[in-house]
Structure 1
């Protein structure tokens, strides 16, 4: 992609720091149909064959994750053909503490993680914003050589990627162009289940929300309107998804681990929850699915360690 073309997609923004909120604002802005989203972008290779979209977690530290993804691309020799994009889902507290234009989308708290609607300047689901980022890559005039899009997240970002893989709208332009889309879900605290079965016994009366979105398919967000759970189940089986689990991510008291009853019903820690969920999927799809589980030995809850391990690099850049 040429430099002048990047200028059409991204405009510069201030990165002044504030004492609270996110430590660093992503320097770019991507214009959507409704407002703009903050975004970080890596160096653009001359020939872009892969676009890696990396989703931050609750800390909204998009630039940290962008650098992690770029490091993984460099170590595998893929940086010459890989463009890294890191959207930043700002919330209202970030907007209050940083100099941000009124046109930049913002969400309430962590509502963006579950596909919630932005509070200003327009009402847009975070997943609809992701749809637009992905759809932009389907423009063959701007991205003529792209063969693969990889949507990846760790921890809170992995929660987003797993739910987005479930609810995300189809991208007919990418499919028509033969562009593969892969989702990499690394060490999330929880998953969205398709029915009321859970691997751990719990009190339904004491945990009435266990099957509500984002833990189940009851009360789906407006973004999912028009699609039934059966349709979602069918389309999910077709997604190319890699569940990447750190074998040392086993601390049941980890400060960032979801300890609500809805999450505890899925297992005692992230490793167990991921293993349980994959076994659940194998029972759910006895006819087979386009998904795999890869475990990373010696790594715990560490995004950089996960994505820069041989296993993580295989998930991001392998077949």
Structure 2
């Protein structure tokens, strides 16, 4: 049994399940603090790790269970581990009497790579770096061949922006580990320049190209990368845009209706297709990315994960 995994499972058996809808029971120890995390059953030989990112409800356990269902449906339980990190926010701490050692963020700042407000500052993207680094460490995970980071809705916004800015981890290349990012039904995307598919009044929408909708004022985590560096790294990364064909409600209660988001399209399916088209036009030489539509599914994380197309996005070699 992997050492830190064993520690997680022991912690998990004693932690109180309460919650935003629930506080994830496991704890990952980082220098900056502890991260709440849910973890699925550990197979003897872990060849694939699926890191599943919750949406704005911070319901990590719900997403963990959906990801485990997808693993079972695809017949991948013998070698796939599911990890569901939980980005708590400040309101969760007093509400559930959580220890001060737990990492938490202000509001939804974790969705854009913002820094935790306690116990120490850590970008939500740096937290993902730490998880990726651990599961690609051959001393602890000798057999891992692939890491998949999946996010739906608000979680997909995290995954798309993380795929843009993620630090290169030499251990991945050295150990022959493939990274895949699956971006499912986000409300918005980060564009590389001031072009947008929908006409809008620039004077009424001054923030349309600021991070997280564009690359102006990128977070501290970006480390001074230029837009050109960000784009050239991004298009080489393996990214799958997984879009529900029924995610077409322009009035959906959780849809970002800011002018910066509306400039990307009227609803999520349109925004995803327009963004992918934008990438293809900017890179006619080809990109290491594809778009998969999911018939009959709207804005539904479980439906996306457990669909045949969702399973293909997660597990297709």
Give the TM-score taking structure 2 as reference length. Answer: 0.97
With over 3 angstroms needed to count, the CA separation of the structure-2 counterparts of 1:72 and 1:16, relative to structure 1, is closer
* 2: CA distance, partners of 1:67 / 1:259: 30
Which position in structure 2 is the counterpart of 1:237? 235
Which position in structure 2 is the counterpart of 1:197? 195
Which position in structure 1 is the counterpart of 2:302? 304
Structure 2 segments unaligned to the other structure (5+ residues)? none
Shift of 1:79: 1.1
Structure 1 segments unaligned to the other structure (5+ residues)? none
Which position in structure 1 is the counterpart of 2:266? 268
Task: Give the conservation status (yes or no) of the 8 Å contact 2:17–2:24.
Answer: no
Which position in structure 2 is the counterpart of 1:178? 176
Task: Give the conservation status (yes or no) of the 8 Å contact 1:49–1:81.
Answer: yes
Task: Give the conservation status (yes or no) of the 8 Å contact 2:193–2:215.
Answer: yes
Q: Report which stretch shifted further, 210-219 or 222-231.
A: 222-231
* 1: CA distance, partners of 2:253 / 2:108: 17
* 2: CA distance, partners of 1:129 / 1:192: 20
Would you say how many aligned residue pairs link Structure 1 and Structure 2?
A: 315
Shift of 1:280: 0.2
Is 1:208 the equivalent of 2:206? yes
Task: Give the conservation status (yes or no) of the 8 Å contact 2:66–2:305.
Answer: yes
Which position in structure 1 is the counterpart of 2:18? 17
Which position in structure 1 is the counterpart of 2:147? 149
Is 1:123 the equivalent of 2:124? no
Shift of 1:8: 3.8
Q: Report which stretch shifted further, 201-210 or 7-16.
A: 7-16
Residues 129-185 of structure 1: per-residue CA shift (max 9 Å, x gap) = 111011111110110000000000000000000000001111110111000000000
* 2: CA distance, partners of 1:190 / 1:59: 17
* 2: CA distance, partners of 1:96 / 1:266: 37
Give the secondary structure class of the aligned counterpart of 1:238. coil
Residues 246-303 of structure 1: per-residue CA shift (max 9 Å, x gap) = 0000000000000000000000000000000000000111111100000001110011
Task: Give the conservation status (yes or no) of the 8 Å contact 1:14–1:99.
Answer: no
RMSD over aligned Cα atoms? 1.1
Shift of 1:23: 1.6
Is 1:6 the equivalent of 2:8? no
Task: Give the conservation status (yes or no) of the 8 Å contact 2:2–2:141.
Answer: no
Which position in structure 2 is the counterpart of 1:220? 218
Which position in structure 1 is the counterpart of 2:104? 106
Task: Give the conservation status (yes or no) of the 8 Å contact 1:149–1:179.
Answer: yes
Task: Give the conservation status (yes or no) of the 8 Å contact 2:2–2:140.
Answer: no
